[in-house]
Amino acid sequence: MNTLFHPLLRQSFKSTGVYLLMIALTLAISATTALKFSNDQVQKAVALQAAEMLAGDLVLSSNEPIGAQWKAQAQQLHLQQSEVTMFGTMAHTSDRFVMVNVKAIDASFPLRGELKVSPAASAIRSGEVWLSQRAMDLLKVKIGDPLQIADGDFKVTAKIEHDSNQELGFSGFSPTVIIARQDVVKTHAVQAGSRIEYRLLMAGDAAQTRQFELLFKQKQQLETDQLSKANVSAPSEDAQSSLRLRNASEGNTRLMKPIANLDTFLQLANILTILLCGIAIALTSQRYVQQNQDHIALMRCMGASKQQILRAYLSLLAVVFAIAIVLGSAAGIALGYGLLQLMLQLIPQLNVAFSAVAMLLGPLPIAMLTSAVVLLGFVLPSLWQLLNTPPIRVIRQQEKSVQSMLWMLLTGTVSLVLFSAVLTENLLLTAWVIGSIICLCTVLYAVVWTLLKFIRNLKLGISAYVRTPYQTAFQITALALGLSLITVLAVLRTDLLERWQQQLPAGTPNQFVYGLPPMDMPAFQQQLQTHGWKGTPLYPNVRGRLVAKNDQPFADELVKSNNSLRRELNLTQASAFPADNKIVSGAAQFQQKNEVSVEAKTAAELGIKIGDRLTFSLPEGLLQAKVINLRSVEWESFSPNFFFIFSPKSIDENAGSYLGSFYVPEAEKPQLIQLIQQFSNTVFIDVTLILDEVKRIVSLLVQIITILAVLVALSGILVLVACLNLLMDERKREVALLRSFGSSKHRLKRMMSMEIGFMGLIAGMVSCLFAEAISAVASYRMELAIQPHWEIWLILPILMTVLCALIGRYRLSYLCEIPPLQSLREMNQ
């Protein structure tokens, strides 16, 4: 082996092929390592931002005191704990009375996020009360004034400037006051039948929180199974303790939907980077094989066996891969550190930290292992062809067989799928994206190959540009794929921005009104018109239960598993559906009374179909309504939404109250105080803080995906340039031969520039198809609207034509200056 290895090593490092292969491997290791490490850190940081909305990673809530067993379980798992009690009561001075939301906290609150008050204080003490700005405005109190919360006497010691624990719900309405938890007793506000919520906040690492969630689910399932064995139906939500466990992803869907999209975007960026690296490895390995065909043929002529050659080349690849590991590891660590520092500079509020140990123990070994798999996947078929190269190769050129290329593509594709699945840890998304790409590549390669073969058989002047249709078709497909992978991220970034901007347009309602008495509704609408505050319609809100379908009660198992059947629902009636609701199937409008529209996902869960008769239990008795359509609902929007909407005159509006939302400009907030005082029996919910938090998170996500898109684009541009360079290298021999036969430099430059430019035009058009198809798959997975992107059809073909022609002319200028004999000698070096 040493006899062959050392000459082979010297010969390989004299050629450019081994260096390009080394660069491709280094790129694969460094780019995937840095990107996966950065993605992991960003996901943790953004998840932490989401946890701030709950003030912890987990919240165990109930309308009864939390059992001691749960606190003990959290302690065993070494989770941080904080207890919070929330209830509504009356706050009053000598002449003012205001309904407030009381949040009673302990010294460890919050576990996540920050509670800022003015003047600053580290913890609230017994006898103190902190007030939100709205509470202070309504009560007309200032720091140092006395205040009564129900029967308890308190002193105002601070104003709440920022509370990260902001949730959108009717239990969290403003105005808000904060007291010490031990002071709940002296208020005497908690009585039998009081509406109160006890919370146990918990925080810890991901493993600890997952373990607690698993134990909670097992406990709940065990209790449900025991009830089933005893043949006892599940108690209603109002009758039971309503023990519920929430994590950050369940705390606010308006916040978590963009974060879920970011997670998918990060995984997609990983997949596309992997594919780009795979293309680079495939192209460079093929060039390396082509440069070594003559060398192996000579070795075979000198009596070297296949086993000797195989061991020598595997040893050579081991050396190349070892060098790539060293370079790729250093570059990956540096790139990961640089990327995180760039993110911190652009996004100071992002809580991420660099850890070389975490990178060395996590992403780097995975990147090295999977890069080796990809290398072998693309190189082994080529090595097998080399081992079977006949000695006659020395004196007669032979084209690579189509069968060998097919084997290379098959093994390389399998290795890429494994690589992507391991790095992204999302087998479904990987299968969707790579499966779509394989199908597209197969179809488009066949179309391009057929077209090129047809052109070659025409025997016209243009046929001279098509020498090996299958190789040229492969090059065009690879070039188009590399370009389309860059385009996909840019397209998806634009789609995400449009989606988020649609969810948070200017004038998004920042005030919710709930519990408005029917008799006050006309006066309230008049006040909104007087102030010019625009919002959604006011919907009648009647509480009711869904009890039967087609006169048959729902099965006990379905009742136990579906929350919609175990609790009272907010029901409404309207002549028109909310603006962000879309009819999935059925009639577009109501035709008569006692018709109902159902939210599509709820209908699927309950087996409800158009034409079914649903029975509801309302305050005035039973109501039967016919299902006329199914709707999709944007639960992330800041507008009222309902599972069931009835046709007009189906329910008694006076049996409930009204709810709606409207927008108040910041400068007009003081006028809102008068409205709240005028309608003192109505609950007003200020969601400004939540809206600001969601906007801040969305802004952060936009900056993150922009940085990642630029990183992947830079990697893709390097691959495109390498691909074009390989195309030019293949034309060295032709330029030398044409020069030998007397062709002028000007004619050569013009002809070859036109050829490479024409290939770029085809690749640009094919890349548009690729980009549209891949972005459609990704949009479907991210629940975004699938839409065409006409701008890329105008830009990419022209851009690629000009780019290829310019690069081709630049390279050809260099080739035309080389003496023909020298070019021919360099072809096999």
Q: Do 282 and 222 share a domain, yes or no?
A: no
Checking if the pLDDT of 254 tops 60, the result is no
Residues 244 and 261 in one domain: no
Is 737 domain-assigned?
A: yes
Q: Kindly report the CA angle at 22 between 480 and 816, in degrees rounded to 5?
A: 65
pTM of the model: 0.60
- For residue 700, what pLDDT is reported? 67
Please indicate, yes or no, whether residues 443 and 516 belong to a single structural domain of this protein.
no
Least confident segment among 252-256, 416-420, 702-706: 252-256
**Cβ–Cβ < 8 Å for 408, 381:** yes
For residue 809, the number of C-alpha atoms closer than 13 Å in the C-beta half-sphere is 12
pLDDT reported for residue 168 = 44
| CA-wise closest residue to 484 among 275, 284, 263, 726 | 275
Cα-based distances in Å from 571 to 188, 313, 623, 652: 34, 73, 12, 11
Which of 130-139, 140-149, 166-175 is the most confident on average? 140-149
Q: How far apart, in whole angstroms, are the C-alpha atoms of residue 494 and residue 238?
A: 45
Mean pLDDT of the chain: 76
Within a domain: 752: yes
pLDDT for residue 238 is more than 50: no
Domain for residue 690, yes or no?
no
Read off the pLDDT band of 171 (50, 70, 90).
very low
Please say which residue of 251, 282, 313 terminates a domain.
251
Give the pLDDT mean for 195-202: 88
pLDDT tens by residue, 80-107 = 999 999 888 888 888 888 888 899 999 8
> In terms of domains, do 439 and 303 share one?
yes
Res. 795: pLDDT tops 80: yes
On whether residue 53 sits in a domain, the answer given is no
152-163/128-131 β-pairing: parallel
Tell me: pLDDT of 754 over 70. Answer: yes
| Greater model confidence, 261 or 347 | 261
Same domain, 286 and 212: no
List the beta strands (DSSP E) in 352-414: none
Residues 721 and 734 in one domain: yes
Q: Identify the band that residue 402 occupies on the pLDDT scale cut at 50, 70 and 90.
A: low
Lowest mean pLDDT of 7-21, 146-160, 515-529, 726-740, name the range: 726-740
Q: Is residue 773 part of a domain?
A: yes
pLDDT of res. 260? 64
- The residue from 251, 286, 304 where one domain ends is 251
- In this predicted structure, the answer to whether residue 350 has a pLDDT above a threshold of 90 is no
Between 791 and 713, the more confident residue is: 791
User: With 50 as the cut, is the pLDDT of residue 1 above it?
Assistant: no
Is 632 part of a structural domain of the chain?
A: yes
Is the per-residue pLDDT at 151 higher than 80?
A: yes
Same domain for 292 and 395, yes or no, is yes
Q: What are the DSSP calls for 103-125, one per residue? A: EEE-TT--SSS-EEEES--SS--
Which residues span the domain enclosing 648?
A: 511-684
- Residue 126 in domain: yes
**Beta-strand relationship, 176-180 and 128-131:** antiparallel
On whether both 545 and 492 belong to a single domain, the answer is no
Q: Round to whole Å and give the CA distance between 819 and 44.
A: 59
Choose among 387, 447, 448, 384: nearest CA to 410. Answer: 384
User: Please, which residues bridge with residue 472 across strands?
Assistant: none
Q: Examine the domain organization and report whether 90 and 115 are in the same domain.
A: yes
Residues 770 and 800 in one domain: yes
For residue 169, the tally of other CB atoms under 10 A from its CB is 11
Report pLDDT digits (tens) over 277-322.
777 777 777 667 666 666 777 777 777 777 777 777 788 888 888 8
Last residue of a domain, one of 684, 715, 731: 684
Q: How does residue 790 score in pLDDT terms, banded at 50, 70 and 90? A: confident
Residue 64 DSSP one-character state: S
pLDDT band at 235 (very low <50, low <70, confident <90, very high): very low
Partnered with residue 181 across adjacent β-strands are none
pLDDT in tens, 646-696: 999 898 888 888 988 898 888 888 888 888 878 877 878 777 766 676 666
Q: Is residue 689 part of a domain?
A: no
Confidence of residue 346 (pLDDT cuts 50, 70, 90): low
Provide DSSP, 748-779: HHHHHHHHHHHHHHHHHHHHHHHHHHHHHHHH
Sequence-separated (6 or more) residues with CB below 8 Å from residue 591: 628, 647
Tens-place pLDDT, residues 449-505 = 888 788 777 766 666 656 667 677 777 777 777 777 777 777 777 777 676 666 666
Note whether 300 and 416 are same-domain residues: yes
Q: How confident is the model at residue 720 (pLDDT cuts 50, 70, 90)?
A: low
Number of structural domains (the chain) is: 3
Residues 390 and 418 in one domain: yes
pLDDT of residue 630: 93
